[in-house]
């Protein structure tokens, strides 16, 4: 092997000119940054919840649930506390670990998405549009069967996020096509 490094052509260069990726207009870029912080917040919250689940491994969940119900002064014999206690009695360490793993995976996706959105990566805009759009039919279905104010807020926020991402992708595509 020769001692000289292999010369490689730098990426993003055409005819000795550097080609920068298209930039997003400022109002859209600010909106994308807000979405990035929102996604990072969701990721951190879910990561903390998953860590909390891990702290419950090898503990008696039923006893913890009973103490919680007594602490909030609920009747353990009434319907909802009884459902909660039944669910707590069926939780195993394996289920807790699987839930924590699912939470960690979800958090990782949200944090990677937030990173990509903050640094204006097109793949992150596409991921945000698709992941936000997936929830819309379920939210519409939920509102059709049981309308609530928070359901409306969630639907509006998701539609707004999808619209911001689709606009950013369209502007990026237009900038790329205008350059060619």
Q: Judge whether 2 lies within some domain.
A: no
Assess whether pLDDT exceeds 70 at residue 1.
no
- Do 62 and 145 belong to one domain? no
Instruction: Indicate whether 85 and 60 sit together in one domain.
Output: yes
Q: What is the pTM of this model?
A: 0.77
- Residue 157 within any structural domain of the chain: yes
| Residue 147 domain flag | yes
Spatial separation of the C-alpha atoms in residues 158 and 165, rounded to whole Å:
11
Whether residues 107 and 150 fall in one domain: no
What is the domain range of residue 155? 121-175
Question: How many domains is the chain partitioned into structurally?
Answer: 2
> pLDDT tens digit string along 111-120?
999 999 999 9
pLDDT at 100 over 90: yes
Of 120, 144, 163, the residue that ends a domain is 120
Instruction: For residue 46, give both structure tokens.
Output: 């879910």
- The answer to the question of residue 4 being in a domain is no
Amino acid 176: pLDDT = 78
Residues of the chain with pLDDT > 70: what percent?
85
Residues 170, 93 share a domain: no
Domain match, 33 and 115 both: yes
Q: In angstroms, what CA-CA distances link 61 with 37, 84, 101?
A: 34, 11, 18
Looking at the structure, do residues 104 and 141 belong to the same domain, yes or no?
A: no
Q: The tokens of 80 are what? A: 């909802």
**pLDDT tens readout for residues 164-178:** 999 999 988 888 787
Residues 93 and 165 in one domain: no
Query: Does residue 20 lie in a domain region?
Result: no
46 and 112, same domain (yes or no) = yes
Asked if the structure places residue 144 within a domain, the reply is: yes
Based on the fold, state whether residues 79 and 30 are members of the same structural domain.
Answer: yes
pLDDT in tens, 30-79: 999 999 999 999 999 999 999 999 999 999 999 999 999 999 999 988 99
DSSP class of residue 92?
-
Residue 15, Ramachandran bin (φ over 0: left; ψ between -120 and 50: alpha; else beta): left
């Amino acid at each position: 092997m020769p001692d000289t490094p292999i010369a490689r052509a730098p990426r993003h260069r055409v005819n000795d000119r550097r080609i920068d990726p298209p930039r997003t207009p400022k109002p859209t870029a600010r909106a994308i940054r807000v979405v990035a912080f929102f996604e990072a917040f969701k990721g951190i919250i879910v990561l903390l919840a998953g860590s909390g689940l891990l702290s419950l491994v090898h503990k008696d969940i039923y006893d913890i649930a009973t103490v919680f119900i007594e602490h909030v002064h609920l009747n353990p014999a009434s319907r909802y506390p009884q459902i909660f206690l039944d669910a707590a009695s069926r939780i195993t360490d394996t289920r807790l670990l699987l839930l924590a793993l699912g939470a960690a995976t979800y958090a990782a996706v949200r944090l990677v998405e937030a990173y990509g959105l903050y640094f204006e990566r097109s793949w992150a805009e596409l991921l945000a549009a698709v992941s936000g759009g997936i929830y819309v039919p379920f939210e519409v279905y939920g509102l059709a069967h049981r309308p609530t104010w928070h359901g409306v807020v969630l639907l509006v926020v998701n539609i707004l996020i999808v619209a911001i991402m689709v606009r950013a992708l369209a502007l990026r595509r237009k900038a790329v096509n205008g350059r060619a």
